[in-house]
Amino acid sequence: MARTRKAKVEPKAPVAKRAAGAIAPATPIIPPSAALVSSKTVITEKDIFNASSSTQELVSLINTLTSTSQDKLFDDYRAKTQMQLDESYRIIEELNQEIAAKNEIIERLKVSSSKSALNLDQTPSKQPQSSQNLYKSPIRRKKTTDVADLITQDQLSKELDTIGITLDMLELLTGLRITNYEEDDNKFYFDISQSSTAESSDEKKKKNGASAPPAPASGNSLTIVYRLVIAKEFDSTAEINYVPTFLKEGSDDDHIERLKDILPEYFCDNLSFPYNTLSQFYTKINRALNKGVKA
């Protein structure tokens, strides 16, 4: 009987038993973002095995794994952005302060310019334009303030001469001359010289060719000086105050007596009358002076 040969079975190598709860060996655990982080964020199996007995250490490892480089980049970006915002706020504040200062200067210049324009409108003073001085005409009153309406210094001199000639003509026609003008806060003051406008009898005889004995100089013309005062403000009708300044001390006594003889008595004392009767006032004095010349 043949013997059956038993196959020789090689004993299997004993399989090492793994401790309960042990983790199979594996490659080191690297979080997805670890490629962007330094090596300090790489956690190995040994680190996890050593920390398995301590909850605090495990929590620390988890925190390390969850704190990636993206968090660090975000923190850096947020800090840099905040710095840029702070710098922008600072620059904006400086610009606002500069604008406020410029606006204050502009307002001061506007006020100064308005005052200068007001002064030029209130007084007929010269107005410089480039190198030539321009003036407002004392005769021709313009409604506009255009430069074309202004006149040069030569034109102003000619107009002043024209004014002088005009006043001389008015004096020849009326015998009136305003010798002085003053004003204060409440009143206007006019010192006036009024002369007779009629010819004396001696002058008429000379024109007619008749001989006549020479007459005294005072007989050819009579002149009276007086002051008219007008209030700047009044209730209803403006009044004129008459002051006979020809009676003041130092005047020619003979001339004063002659004026007293020919003038109505009320012209030798202060009096007041409405301004719309000024022409009548002038006519009465002129009539009295002419009457005295003819006498």
CA dihedral 135, 139, 145, 146 (to 10 degrees): -80
Whether the predicted pLDDT of 234 surpasses 90: no
Which residues fall within 8 angstroms of residue 159, CB to CB, at 6 or more apart?
Answer: 137, 138, 139, 151
Whether the predicted pLDDT of 159 surpasses 70: yes
Which pLDDT score, from 0 to 100, does residue 70 have? Answer: 65
Three-class secondary structure assignment of 203-257: HHHHHHCCCCCCCCHHHHCCEEEEEEEEECCCCCCCEEEEECHHHCCCCCHHHHH
Q: What is the DSSP letter of 43?
A: B
Query: CA 190 from chain center: how many Å?
Result: 37
Whether the predicted pLDDT of 186 surpasses 80: yes
Range name among 131-140, 149-158, 172-181 with the lowest pLDDT average: 131-140
pLDDT in tens, 62-100: 777 666 666 777 888 889 999 999 999 999 999 999 999
Average pLDDT of span 9-30: 46
Whether the predicted pLDDT of 46 surpasses 80: no
Task: State the pTM of this model.
Answer: 0.45
**Band of residue 138 on the pLDDT scale cut at 50, 70, 90:** low
User: Which residues face 132 on adjacent strands?
Assistant: 129
Which pLDDT score, from 0 to 100, does residue 165 have? Answer: 83
- Residue 33 vs residue 25, higher pLDDT: 25
State the fold for domain 175-204+218-294: Aspartate Aminotransferase, domain 1 (3.90.1150)
133 three-class SS: strand
**Extents of the domains making up the chain:** 32-67, 124-166, 175-204+218-294
Which pLDDT score, from 0 to 100, does residue 272 have? Answer: 93
Say how far apart CA 4 and CA 83 lie, in whole Å. 92
- Residue 4 vs residue 191, higher pLDDT: 191
